[in-house]
Structure 1
Amino acid sequence: MNTLPKYMQICYKALLDVFEEIEQELAKQGRSYLVSHAKEAMKILVRAYFDEAKSFHAKHIPTLEEYMRVALVTSGYPMLTVMSLLGMGEIAITEETLVWAFSDPKIITASSVIGRLSDDIKSHKFEQERGHAASAVECYMKKYGVSEEVAYDELSRQVSDAWKDINEDCLRPTAVPMAVLMRVLNLSRAIDVIYKDGDGYTHVGKEMKAKIESLLLYPVPI
């Protein structure tokens, strides 16, 4: 850790603390070994971030296919799925389920498409103004020689198609328990809430604040 810059040491230490806490909780169930899957998911994510950074500094606009290969990972959703499964108890946290999560199942790919393209569409103008790596919008425009608006429309259609893939897997659950599929579905729903009226991730306004408060501070009694 000492070889890292100071600012990275803070992030890395916080990350290690999270993994240690999860490991301690799982140790009570005799399954601390499963944390290795979460660590591997994080390594895959960080490597993809590094690939994006190299493209940005090289001022390279990849092909749409090249972009999506990396961007589906940097959406964070494959990693978030694995991390969230660790907290679901015996119904979800098995070696078989975690291996499934790393096999690029259609539902996790679809969730990643929703997360990545929703973010790219809603945050596109702001990110390009401040200087950012090429998004799916630039890659699509470059590939097909179309306008920004046409790219938005087509990428939005791909988001709709991804929702159809999620619905299909939820209607025909076979590979893993339904509770696991619902976790992926709910992560996708979160993206829909965050980006429904703009980039609620980058610009957290009153509306998003109210939604968070209603969930955590003032939940509806059941």
Structure 2
Amino acid sequence: MTETKWLNNTYIPTITEYIQISTLTSGYPFHMTSSYIGIGDIAIEDIFKWVTSKPKIVIASTIVCRFMDDIVSSEFEQEREHIVPLLECYMREYDISKEEAIQELQKGVTEAWKNINEECLKPIKVPVMVLMRIVNMARFIDVMYKDEDCYTHAKEKMKECIKLCLSIRCQ
């Protein structure tokens, strides 16, 4: 509802407001949490409590998703009725160019990957298999949004990635 209000009122949120809402509305945290369903005895209530408590690795992975998506899809999303992209929020809040805003978001992605790696290297209270789901989702996002929006425009690159994954899995 918050994004709808922003759109209807042509409100440009602060970066903090945008990140707080868009990391939820992206659906990424839901996909991350639901990926634990069906992984056997590891998926106990404590795991779901841990992942929904927003540990550093979950936040970092979500930022990788949101920032990379916004970098490559902001122009397309503005062709249809959509909230102001994060790039524009950055440009307005810091009075910088689009290129500088992209660089700042890319720095944010790099920092998020550092946080993901740090969380994987230090001992924590969840099994490695649980962490690897988060890492692998971030890896997938990295492929999907590396140079273009392969989620929205899945004609070539994403189809090839899926074919490759399926051919490896089937061998």
TM-score (norm. length: structure 2): 0.95
1:203 alignment counterpart:
153
- 2:68 maps to 1:118: yes
Render the CA deviation track for 1:195-216: whole Å, top value 9, x for unaligned.
Answer: 1130001111222211111212
**Whole-angstrom distance in 2 between the partners of 1:182 and 1:81:** 11
- After TM superposition, give the deviation of residue 130 of structure 1 in Å: 2.3
- After TM superposition, give the deviation of residue 175 of structure 1 in Å: 2.2
- 2:22 maps to 1:74: no
Question: Structure 1: which amino acid aligns with 2:27?
Answer: G
Larger radius of gyration: 1
- After TM superposition, give the deviation of residue 220 of structure 1 in Å: 5.8
SS, match of residue 174 in structure 1: coil
List runs of 5+ in structure 1 lacking aligned partners.
Answer: 1-49
Identity %: 45
Render the CA deviation track for 1:76-126: whole Å, top value 9, x for unaligned.
Answer: 2211111001121112x1111111111110000001000001000000111
- After TM superposition, give the deviation of residue 147 of structure 1 in Å: 0.8
Does the 8 Å CA contact 1:122/1:195 hold for their aligned counterparts? yes
- After TM superposition, give the deviation of residue 134 of structure 1 in Å: 1.1
- After TM superposition, give the deviation of residue 178 of structure 1 in Å: 0.8
Q: How many residues align?
A: 171
1:184 alignment counterpart:
134
| Equivalent residues in 2 for 1:26-41, closer than 5 Å | none
TM-score (norm. length: structure 1): 0.74
1:219 alignment counterpart:
168
**Whole-angstrom distance in 2 between the partners of 1:129 and 1:220:** 38
1:119–1:146 Cα change, 3 Å: same
1:56 alignment counterpart:
7
- 2:38 maps to 1:87: yes
Render the CA deviation track for 1:39-81: whole Å, top value 9, x for unaligned.
Answer: xxxxxxxxxxx22122111111111111111111122221111
CA RMSD of aligned residues (A): 1.3
List runs of 5+ in structure 2 lacking aligned partners.
Answer: none
**Whole-angstrom distance in 2 between the partners of 1:221 and 1:67:** 41
